[in-house]
Structure 1
């Protein structure tokens, strides 16, 4: 009984490899170091990425659509590489060492990026009103630095949120309740970093120098590493469970080999080890579920399975191993509906910025010009406002009506965010429609910026921030909670790939729309001079697709069954 009170029951260990002591490790005392790391890393990321489309266009001399697509493609890659880091974390390295190694790669990329924007010979040559010129080698160096950073993010993004959640014991009801709050405050730390980046650093880039504007994020990333290592003694660590891809393949192969076998009606007849722990290191056993019964064939014992002393995992798998695959399959439809939301979210770093560049950016009555990319500060402010409101007001009030420990389910939370995102696109479309009417009424076609305040964009940024609090945070918690223990980094990475695919989807839509709308010599929806375009059509297209996506999400949510774990780990 004393051990029950002293050590965690979810299989976590301390930095020495011993069972984690509940009083000495984890919970909120370990979280400041993780949240500090995330704050600094996000400040570095957004400080470099928020204004990237402007660098592509003004320093590398790219067209509007090309700059937008390059920004979207790079941002998308930053959310694909987490699959690499997640695989290594779950299989071999564990989350601690994965974060440590990939952070080093990240800093290297940030340092190189700073050099490409500040060192003569590496940075583009600029001549006042004649603009800037970049050689092919300078462009290549800049792209190499960007994609080194993209690789570095691959070990951080899928692991930090999961690593923070690991600090709370799933088997302890008090700690589990705090875990839900952790995801809210984790996302808040992201946005505080983004707030500083999109205001101060974007201004530095446009008014002081790009070298300093990239150098500060590089230094901040170094601080992030120091913050992370400072908490080493307090962390709880999950043991890596071996390759989840091999375990999934074993279930599929075993089920195919036994496709002629009947699955018994009594689930107790399916194969499972008698030990308290499952055969998957660091994972609790999972209860049997009735759907996807074909894969249950992998857990049906037949006479040939016992010819040898040891069980062949390519012929016979445990119920837990089968349920691990089922859990991932159930996540995929929910995952797919996140792609459209991410396409909407990606507009903040691309077309919203280009839209803002055509508007009056002066801060009256002064002549100070607000960088267009800095308007994302209102998205961040929205998140900072809504996170404590959600955590301290909405959840307690909803809990009284629903009886659910989190007030509303994770799927309900995500659905609300998808609904709000529709209005963000409608708002952006209305602003563009009003802007174009002013252009036509006063013949402002050739003006770089028209006399319409950039602050008209505030509602669209604010609505996306509100939608983030519901969808992205709900998604973070949902994929962590519903993932089997030994695949949590992988499933977190899977949720992040929706951002990547959302960027790629947006890029694809821009390409298709540009190709179709420029037929027969027309300027198209998104020309270099947006005063001649129809950008509002594109925003309304995203709104229509978001409505269809919300409908699909509601259907899928009704079908989804939540994961059930059995027992504890010691």
Structure 2
């Protein structure tokens, strides 16, 4: 029994795929690496995005309406791609590898964006501070970098907070209480990163240059990745459960087609999900009672 108490009871495993040891993994031993990753990632994101309309107008020579539309299209993409990241994490890769892979894509995007603002040939030609002309190729390079970032953030946004929650075993009352504190620190980290980005980095972009203005967020994102990989041995990982589409399309059996996953409880609402649910004895009792009431 003492040996069993050493391991978590929520199915989490360590980086080698073995049951997670409660004394060596998770809790506040692992969380600083996740919080550091989130703080630096948010600093990078807001530091790059807060002043983007101004960059479109004064460096890519777009009109105010076009610059605003470009910014909204890109921002909207950043909030759609998490659907991809969440699906990939839950179904196939797990949260650790999803965060890791998409973070690397993010760093490539930030680095390329910095190069488009600094390297001759990629950088728009400017006669003065606000008199620039960008070729179609230069504009295209900028947007390739931006949409790489949008893809990268799609794998991080839906996974980091829940990955932090994975570090606490709900079956352990002490760890369960600490989970709430993690989310307090998590949102504090987000706001610290956003505050620095929206003040210091915007000033750098307007007064020092866009090379530094994009370069500092790129370095911050590289630090975020380093933070994350540094905690690899301490993290607890939930195994991916297979595609949720499989659960919706499965046959009406008692067991789920996804190994290790339970079927949903059956309800009268949304009957097209019936194949994804399991009927219990109480459902049949209620059905018989309803039929009896109708007959009366």
Q: TM-score when scaled to structure 2? A: 0.87
Following TM superposition, the consecutive aligned residue runs of length 4 or more in structure 1 with deviations greater than 4 angstroms are: 317-320
Secondary structure, in 3 states, of the residue corresponding to 1:127? Answer: strand
Partner of 2:200: 200
Partner of 2:39: 39
Deviations 1:128-172 (A, max 9, x none): 277211111111111111001111112111111111111011222
Q: How does 1:248-327 map to 2 (within 5 A)?
A: 248-250=248-250, 254=251, 272-273=254-255, 280-281=258-259, 283=261, 285=262, 288-292=265-269, 294-295=271-272, 297-298=274-275, 318=278
The count of aligned residue pairs is 280
Partner of 2:8: 8
Secondary structure, in 3 states, of the residue corresponding to 1:132? Answer: strand
Partner of 1:233: 233
Partner of 2:242: 242
Secondary structure, in 3 states, of the residue corresponding to 1:158? Answer: coil
Q: How does 1:85-484 map to 2 (within 5 A)?
A: 85-128=85-128, 131-250=131-250, 254=251, 272-273=254-255, 280-281=258-259, 283=261, 285=262, 288-292=265-269, 294-295=271-272, 297-298=274-275, 318=278
Deviations 1:291-318 (A, max 9, x none): 427357537xxxxxxxxxxxxxxxxx75
1:22 to 2:4 alignment: no
Partner of 1:58: 58
Deviations 1:58-81 (A, max 9, x none): 212222222222111101111111
1:26 CA displacement: 0.7
1:84 to 2:84 alignment: yes
Secondary structure, in 3 states, of the residue corresponding to 1:126? Answer: strand
Deviations 1:93-135 (A, max 9, x none): 1111111111111111111100111111211122227721111
Does structure 1 conserve the Cα–Cα contact (< 8 Å) formed by 2:248 and 2:273? no
1:221 CA displacement: 1.0
Find the aligned partners of 2:140 and 2:41 in 1 and give their Cα distance. Answer: 25
Does structure 2 conserve the Cα–Cα contact (< 8 Å) formed by 1:46 and 1:194? yes
The farther-off stretch of 177-186 and 4-13 is: 177-186
The farther-off stretch of 241-250 and 5-14 is: 241-250
1:288 CA displacement: 2.6
Find the aligned partners of 2:73 and 2:273 in 1 and give their Cα distance. Answer: 40
Deviations 1:436-476 (A, max 9, x none): xxxxxxxxxxxxxxxxxxxxxxxxxxxxxxxxxxxxxxxxx
Inter-CA distance 293–130: structure 2 relative to 1 (3 Å threshold): closer
Find the aligned partners of 2:272 and 2:86 in 1 and give their Cα distance. Answer: 25
Does structure 2 conserve the Cα–Cα contact (< 8 Å) formed by 1:110 and 1:217? yes
Inter-CA distance 149–296: structure 2 relative to 1 (3 Å threshold): closer
1:4 CA displacement: 4.6
Q: TM-score when scaled to structure 1? A: 0.47
Inter-CA distance 147–286: structure 2 relative to 1 (3 Å threshold): same
Inter-CA distance 153–287: structure 2 relative to 1 (3 Å threshold): closer
Q: CA RMSD in A?
A: 2.2
The farther-off stretch of 211-220 and 129-138 is: 129-138
Does structure 2 conserve the Cα–Cα contact (< 8 Å) formed by 1:87 and 1:243? yes
Does structure 2 conserve the Cα–Cα contact (< 8 Å) formed by 1:296 and 1:319? no
What are structure 1's unaligned runs of at least 5 residues? 256-270, 300-316, 321-570
Partner of 2:291: none
Inter-CA distance 296–84: structure 2 relative to 1 (3 Å threshold): closer
Which of structures 1 and 2 has the bigger CA Rg? 1
